């Protein structure tokens, strides 16, 4: 399935006293990977919201393998797991600049109509890019 790669540098404020990335920041890193995945498809979260679709996260899991540290350059690889229906599912890997696998993760999001707040199917404009 479609995948993208994003890089970022760990900022000081994302770490604890030992210079290790605080565990909760990885969810933000996954969001950045997902945002860039959508952008690579030709859309942004803002554009989708402006066109009536919200994408709330309904599931998140992360497996921590090794710590990221202050000033590391991280590579976030975001994979689409399958063609979306009402739900879109991603898996992730984050590696440091040395290629060491730091985390694996998964998220599930649902497509919600912003006018009705009800689930809806994945929009055609997204599905057309995936086939």
pTM for this prediction: 0.93
Burial 76-104 (b: 16+ CB within 10 A, else e): bbbbbeeebeeebbbbbbbbbeeeeebbe
CATH number, residue 13: 3.10.129.10
pLDDT digits (tens, 9 = 90+) for 64-105: 999 999 999 999 999 999 999 999 999 999 999 999 999 999
Looking at the annotation, which residues are catalytic?
16
Q: How many domains does the chain have?
A: 1
Averaged pLDDT, 99-120: 97
Averaged pLDDT, 105-115: 97
Q: How far apart are CA 58 and CA 65, in angstroms?
A: 23
Residue 67 structural domain: 3-130
Least trusted range by pLDDT, from 22-26, 41-45, 88-92:
41-45
């Amino acid at each position: 399935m479609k995948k993208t790669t994003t890089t970022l540098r760990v900022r000081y404020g994302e770490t604890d006293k030992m210079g290790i990335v605080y565990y909760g920041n990885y969810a933000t890193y996954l969001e950045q990977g997902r945002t860039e995945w959508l952008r690579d498809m030709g859309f942004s979260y803002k554009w989708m919201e402006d066109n009536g679709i919200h994408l709330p996260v309904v599931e998140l899991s992360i497996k921590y393998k090794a710590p990221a540290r202050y000033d590391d350059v991280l590579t976030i690889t975001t994979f689409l797991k399958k063609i979306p229906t009402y739900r879109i599912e991603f898996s992730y890997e984050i590696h440091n600049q040395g290629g060491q696998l730091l985390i694996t993760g998964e998220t599930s999001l649902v497509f919600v109509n912003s006018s009705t707040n009800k689930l809806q199917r994945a929009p055609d404009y997204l599905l057309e890019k995936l086939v």
